[in-house]
Amino acid sequence: KRAIIIDTDPGQDDAIALLLALASDELDVLGVTAVAGNVPLALTEKNARKICELAGKPDTRVFAGAERPLMRKLVTAEYVHGKTGLDGPDLPEPTMALEDQFAPDFIIEAIRDRPEGTVTLCPLGPLTNIALALIKAPDIAARIDRIVLMGGGFFEGGNVTPTAEFNIYVDPEAAHTVFTSGVPIVMAPLDVTHKALTTQARIDALRAKRTPVCDAAASLIDFFERFDEDKYGTDGGPLHDPCVIAYLLKPELFTGRDCHVAIETGSELTLGMTVIDWWGVTGKAPNAHVLGDIDAAGFFDLITERLARL
């Protein structure tokens, strides 16, 4: 089993990613660490617990982390995810407890406690918690197997500004810390997630499983996709964050290449841009494996099959 920590700001697509991970025997979810992002921390940590309970896994350890980015004011995305961050289905208030430990401290401890190279970090939101852990305990960098994250964009540009994707834009300094940490990174940018569209046929396939979890997941997607459908005129919206978990389970669904990636932290105009050297023009050594394409049908089959197990 691969040991993972999911760092997240649920978020409907984060919720599907959590469900996919919790449904998969290949993964040992050591903990779920919540960060402020799509909505404030008080909601993301609660939403994370709601999803663990929906999955029937109330023993999952959930931790609260950073309330705001390292150096900037928090920017949220209620216009995408709704007021609660999890608008869509009517999920009960969680009864499982939140762990006392601060999320970055849990991340540090979990990595130090386990053999070197055995813990994978899966950030699905702004990178504040991960950066705080790396800043407080630089020794963990060499011990992390790798960081597989959703964030950034290249040919697709951005979704918050013309050049910046939400997760990187919210905390560009944290992203810079992560991308210069030396930890191997796999990055699922908008270029790949915008190819994973929640078409009506795919939502129907999920609902056809007729389980409470698949039903709730379909309702989450129904709510989530309206934003991108309206904006881009597509059939379905991009299911971003589950790409991270799908990559761990079935890397063969994706293609990509090793690139040098730098984060813009100085310019007001292009703040949070992921400068991806796809063509190798800088001659700088790659620091990330950047995913570029996905077998979307295989991806949705995987989600449907796994969520039906819960």
Q: Would you name the residues annotated as active-site residues?
A: 240
Is the distance from CB of 28 to CB of 54 less than 8 angstroms?
A: no
**Among 10-18, 44-52, 139-147, 206-214, the segment contacting ligand BDR (CB under 6 A):** 10-18
- Following CA atoms 104, 107, 109, 111 in sequence, which dihedral angle do they give, to the nearest 10 degrees? -150
Residue count, binding to ligand BDR (CB under 6 A): 15
**Closest distance of CB 238 from ligand BDR, Å:** 8
Residue type, 258: D
With tokens 């601060």, the residue in question is: 102
- Distance from C-alpha of 290 to C-alpha of 27, rounded to nearest angstrom: 22
Residue 159 near which of Ca ion, ligand BDR, none (CB within 5-8 Å, type-dependent): ligand BDR
Site residues for Ca ion, 121-150, by CB under 5 A, read: 124-125
Q: Select from 72, 143, 202, 240 the one that contacts ligand BDR (CB under 6 A).
A: 240
**Closest distance of CB 285 from Ca ion, Å:** 29
Q: Name which of 11 and 104 has its Cβ closer to ligand BDR.
A: 11
- Distance from C-alpha of 85 to C-alpha of 123, rounded to nearest angstrom: 17
Number of separate helices (H) and strands (E) present in the chain: 12, 10
Which run of H or E residues covers position 174?
Answer: helix 172-179
Structure token pair of residue 194: 């915008």
Structure token pair of residue 12: 């409907």
**Among all residues, whose Cβ is closest to ligand BDR?**
166
Give me the 26-55 binding string for ligand BDR, x by CB under 6 A, dash otherwise.
Answer: ------------x-----------------
Q: Select from 7, 45, 145, 165 the one that contacts ligand BDR (CB under 6 A).
A: 165
Q: Select from 63, 106, 154, 166 the one that contacts ligand BDR (CB under 6 A).
A: 166
Q: Assess 181 for contact with ligand BDR (CB under 6 A).
A: no
- Terminal alpha carbon distance of the chain: 18
Is the distance from CB of 271 to CB of 265 less than 8 angstroms?
A: yes
Residues in contact with ligand BDR by the rule CB under 6 A: 11, 13-14, 38, 77, 80, 124-125, 150, 159, 165-167, 240-241
